[in-house]
Structure 1
C-alpha cells in the first residue's frame, strides 16, 4: 500500500513538472514579440529603463530556476556527493525569483501611490522583512536526497519551515494588492486612455494575487507534510506562474502606455466671442492631453498656459518607470453662429 502511494505521488509530481515546463515554454514563445518591443523602446543600450531591467531579470532568472529544478529531478546520474554541491542551487534561485517579482509589485505599488515617501519607506521595510523570512525559511534544515539518481532538496527539520516561505510570499502579495487597489480606487482619470490604464492595473493586481496565491497555497499544503516525495510536487508550477504573471504586468503597462495613432477623439468646441475664453479652452485641452513627463522635461514659459500642478494634474505616471503620454490625435470642430465673421476652419 505504501509503495503504491509512493508511485502515485512520484507520477503526480512528474505530471506537475511536465505541465509547468510546457506552460512556461509556450508563454516564452508567444511573448518573444513583446520582449523585442521592450528592447526597441529603450533609448540606447546604455540607458535601459527599470521596467526593461525587471522584465529581463524575471524572464531569465525564472527560466534558470526551472531548468535547475527540473534537471535535478529528472537527472539520473547524481550521487550523494555531487548532490551535496547542487541541492541548494534551486532554493537559492527560487528566492531570487521571488525577490524580483516582489520588486515589480513594490515599485508598481509605489508609483500607484503617487510615490508617497512614507508609503515608499513602509514598502521598503516590508520588502526587506519579507525576503529575510524567505531566505531563512527556504534554506533552513534543507538536506540533499538522492532517489534513483535524481537530486532533491528536502526539509528535514522536526518543525517544518519551508512552508512558511509560501506564507510570507502570500502576505507580501496581499499587502501590495491592498495598498495599490485602495489608491487606484481614488483616481479620477480625465481621459479614456488613463481610465483604461487604471482598470488594467487593478485587474492585473487582482489576477496576479488570485492565481499566484492559489499555487502558493497548494505548495504550502504540500510542504506542510512529512512526505519527502510530495514536498516539491508543485514547486515547478509555482515558478512558471510567478514568471508568467510578473512579466505580464510589465507587458500590459508598457503596451497601455504607448500612444495609438489610429484612435481619434472628436471634440466640439463652441467658438467664443473673446480670445481669452478661447485660450482657456485650449489650456484645458492641453492639460488633458499632455503627460506629466512631458511637462517635467520641457519648461513652459507661456504665462497664459502655466504648467499643471503635480497635486492637481491627472495621475498619468502610475507605472513602473514608464511615463504615460496621452497623445491621441484630436479633431476639433468649431461651432459658431455668425459664419460671416470668421474664416472657414480647417480640420486636421
Structure 2
C-alpha cells in the first residue's frame, strides 16, 4: 500500500513537471513574440518619467508575471530545499500570483470603465467589486498555506487546513471575470455602429473580452478542482499554467487596444464621418490614449482645404436619435475624406 502511494506521488510529480515545462515554453515564446510590441510601447512615450497608463500596466503585467513564473518553478525544480529553507520561501510564489491577478483585473476593470463611457456609477461599482475581489483573493491565497517538501526536496505550497480554502481564490477570480465581461459586452452591444470600421473595432473588443474569459476560466476551473483535493502534492500542478495564461491574455488586451489606435504615418486613412459612434469610440479609448490636438482638413471640390468639423456640420444630416449633436474631429495631420452614399450614414475612424 505504501509503495502504491509513493508511485501515485511520483506520477503526479511527473505530470506537474510536464505542465510546468509546457507553460514556461509557451510564456517564453509569447515573450519573444511580443518584444516588438513592447518596444512600440516604450517608443511612444513622451518621457520615461511620464509613462501612459497602458504602458505602465503593460510593464507591470509582463514582469510581475515573469517573477511569478520564476519563483514558482524555481521552488519546484530545485532539489536543495530543506524544511527550514522551504518555510522561508513557500509564500513567495502565492504572493506574486495575487499581485499578478490584481494587475490583470485592473486592466480588465479600466477597459470596462472606458467602454462604459466612464460612467461614474459604473466606475464606483467596478471599484467596489475590485476591492472586494482582491481582498477575498489575498485572504484565500494565504490562509492555511503550508510548505510542501517531497522526496526529491522540491519546495511548493499547499492547503493542508481542515477546511480547504485556497480553491476560493479561483472562485473569486471567476466571479470577477464573469461580472466584468458581462458589463463590458452589454455596453458594446448597445453601440449603434454605422461604420464598418467602428463595427470592426467593437467586434474586436467583444472577442478580446470573451476570449480572455474563456481561456482564463478554463485555467481557473482546473486550479479550483486541484485545490479542492486533499493531496497537497498535486494541488499546485496547474499553478504555472495559470501564471502563463493570465500574463498572455492580459497583455494581449493592451496590445490589441494600442494596435487599433496607433497612428500610421505611412498610410493615408479614409475617414468616414457620422454620429453617434465616434463619441462612443473616443470614450472607449480615451483612458488608454490621449486625444489628438490639431485640426484636420478635407479637400473640397475646388481643391481648397475645409476643416473636417465644419464639413461634418454641412454634410451630415441631423437625426433626432443622435446621442450627441456636436462633434469635433481633431487629428494631427490632414486626411482625405470619402463620403458614402447619402442613404448610408457613417462614422469617423481616426488612427
Inter-partner Cα distance in structure 2 for 1:119 and 1:190? 26
Unaligned runs of 5+ in 1: 268-282, 317-323, 334-348
Do residues 201 (structure 1) and 205 (structure 2) align?
Answer: yes
1:47 aligned onto 2:50? yes
2:36 is aligned with 1:69: no
Match of 1:188 in 2: 192
Q: Which residue is equivalent to 2:168?
A: 164
Q: Are 1:214 and 2:214 counterparts? A: no
Kindly state the Cα deviation for residue 82 of structure 1 after the two structures are TM-superposed: 1.1
User: 1:314 and 1:138, CA in 2 relative to 1: closer, same or farther beyond 3 A?
Assistant: farther
Contact 1:140 1:161 in 2 (8 A): yes
Q: Deviations over 1:164-213 (max 9, x none)?
A: 00000000000010000000001123443332221111000000000100
Residue of structure 2 in register with 1:330 after alignment: 336
Provide the residue aligned with 1:99 in structure 2. Answer: 102
SS at match of 1:153: strand
Greater C-alpha radius of gyration: 1
- SS, match of residue 7 in structure 1: helix
1:114 aligned residue: 117
Q: For structure 2, list consecutive stretches of 5 or more residues without a partner in the other structure.
A: 297-306, 314-321, 340-351
Deviations 1:80-119 (A, max 9, x none): 1111111111111100000000000000000000000000
Q: 1:23 aligns with which of 23, 26, 33?
A: 26
Query: How far off is 1:226 after superposition?
Result: 0.2
* Correspondence for 2:231: 227
What's the offset of the Cα at 1:330? 2.4
Q: Does 1:34 align with 2:44?
A: no
Give RMSD over aligned pairs. 3.4
Q: 198-207 or 258-267: which moved more? A: 258-267
Cα separation, 1, equivalents of 2:201 and 2:160: 47
Q: 2:327 & 2:250 partners in 1: Cα distance?
A: 23
| Residue aligning to 1:265 | 270
User: 321, 324, 332: which one pairs with 1:312?
Assistant: 324
CA deviation string 1:266-320 (max 9, x = no partner): 98xxxxxxxxxxxxxxx969x96996778885699x9x94999x9517999xxxx
- Aligned counterparts of 1:161 and 1:111: Cα–Cα separation in 2: 34
> Residue by residue, what CA displacement relative to the aligned partner does 1:31-66 show, whole Å, maximum 9, x if unpaired?
000000011111221221100000000000000000
**TM-score (norm: length of structure 1):** 0.80
The reply on whether 1:153 has 2:130 as its aligned counterpart is no
Q: Give the drift of 1:329.
A: 3.7
Check 1:315–1:195 CA distance in 2 against 1; reply closer, same or farther (3 A cut). farther
The alpha-carbon distance between structure 1 residues 50 and 264, as it changes in their structure 2 partners (threshold 3 A), is: closer
Change (3 A) 1:328 1:100: farther
CA distance in 2, matches of 1:21, 1:45: 30
2:302 corresponds in structure 1 to none
2:246 maps to what in 1?
242
Deviation sequence 1:104-138 (CA, Å, 0-9, x none): 00000000000000000000000000001000000
Please name the residue that 1:272 is paired with. none
Normalised TM-score (structure 2): 0.79
Distance change in 2, residues 1:315/1:110 (3 Å) = farther
Counting matched residue pairs gives: 309
